[in-house]
Each structure stands twice: as structure tokens, then as C-alpha cells.
Amino acid sequence: MRHFLPSGLSVDVRVWAAAACAILMLPCANAIADGVVGLYAGGEIGESRVEADSLGYSTNNFKENHSAYQFMVGIRPVSVIGVEVDYVNFGHPRSTLNDATADATLKGAAAFAVFYLPAPVMDIFAKAGLARLQSTLNGVDAIQPACACQPALFSLDRTDTHFAAGLGAQYKFGPLAIRTDYEYFESAGAHPTVWSLGFTFTFL
């Protein structure tokens, strides 16, 4: 079980965030002040906040943290703007809903316009676009009565396309970059998020 700090972030996320900030703020004599342009690809791992609306099967919604990963491919034709496509897997967390075991999955693709603020040593960026995510939520129905011998189970499978946005920073070693992202989605009737850290490589 993860213990949450007053800020609302779990211990795991706080440790990852501290490490990311330390890496991103490192001085580097070879760092490039303006953005490296070109086609890039990369991957990241981190932690997600999986949320899903129970659609009337419960008075509560599903919310749980889980490890997550994502892959991205993008193109940055000029230093201040680019386009990126991500595949995001939020994981398969298990928790309780209606005092019974429940589990959820959330994964899919997102397309973003990316806006860069080139700065000494690192880039800061914001991105906005659309995400098409597939979600499942399995649990016990607390609204409809069931016989004592058999609980009323439910399973929700949804695919939807909604707004997505993110903020991030990257520290550059020529074509290689250490990168961190925080991404916000609207999906499954809720607002799942992902924070991740990883690498990208730009093909010049």
C-alpha cells in the first residue's frame, strides 16, 4: 500500500519527481541552448492515476495509482513547435469498490501539438490534443440487489476520444534527451493522469 503525503502525491511519485528535477537541472558544458529539430522517438515509465466512472453501478468511482509506461514518436520541424503521437498504458490496478474487489485497465493513443520554450540547458514544453483510450472496469454492483449466493457483477468496456494535455521538460545531450512529462486526460467519465520519466532520441 502506498502512503500519501500532504501534497496528494504518493511516496513513489515524490521520489521519481525529485530524481527528475535533479537530472534536469544538472549543468552540462555540451548542452544545446536551442531545441534540436528533427524526427524523434522515445519511451518513458512512471506512475498513473487511473480513474473511471462506475456509471450508476456504485455511489463511488474507481480511483487508484499504478505503474505506467508510454512510447512516443514525433517531429519537431522548428525549435518552437512540433507534433507528437503517444501510446500510453496506464496499467491494470486493483482496488475495492462497494466493499468488494474491483479492477480497471486504461490504454490507448494520443496525438498532440507540442509548443516548446527553448531555454539554456533544457526545453520546457506544453502539449494539447486528443486521446482515444480504451477502458475496462470490473466490480460488484451495489445498486441492484442480488441473491445471497451470487453477487451481482458488472463489467464496463468503453472506448472514447476526448481532450488531452500535458506539461514537461527535457535535458539535452545533442540528439539524446532525458525527458519528463505530466499528462492529463478526459476518459472513462473521469480525469486520469500520468507522470513519467524517460529518454528520446532525435534522428537528424
Instruction: Enumerate the domain spans of the chain.
Output: 11-203
Q: Rounded to whole angstroms, what are the CA distances from 168 to 84, 184, 201?
A: 13, 12, 16
pLDDT band at 121 (very low <50, low <70, confident <90, very high): confident
Grid cell of 173 as nine digits = 545531450
More confident residue, 30 or 104: 104
Q: Which fold has domain 11-203?
A: Porin (2.40.160)
Residue-wise pLDDT tens digits, 31-86? 344 556 899 999 999 999 999 998 878 878 899 999 999 999 999 999 899 999 99
Residue-wise pLDDT tens digits, 132-143? 999 999 988 866
Please report the pLDDT score of residue 8 as a whole number.
45
DSSP 99: T
pLDDT band at 187 (very low <50, low <70, confident <90, very high): very high
Please report the pLDDT score of residue 26 as a whole number.
46
* Region 147-170 average pLDDT: 87
Query: Over 70: is that where the pLDDT of 146 sits?
Result: no
User: Which among 169, 179, 184 has a CA at the least distance from the CA of 201?
Assistant: 179
- Dump the DSSP string for 4-32: BPTTS-BHHHHHHHHHHHHHHT---TT--
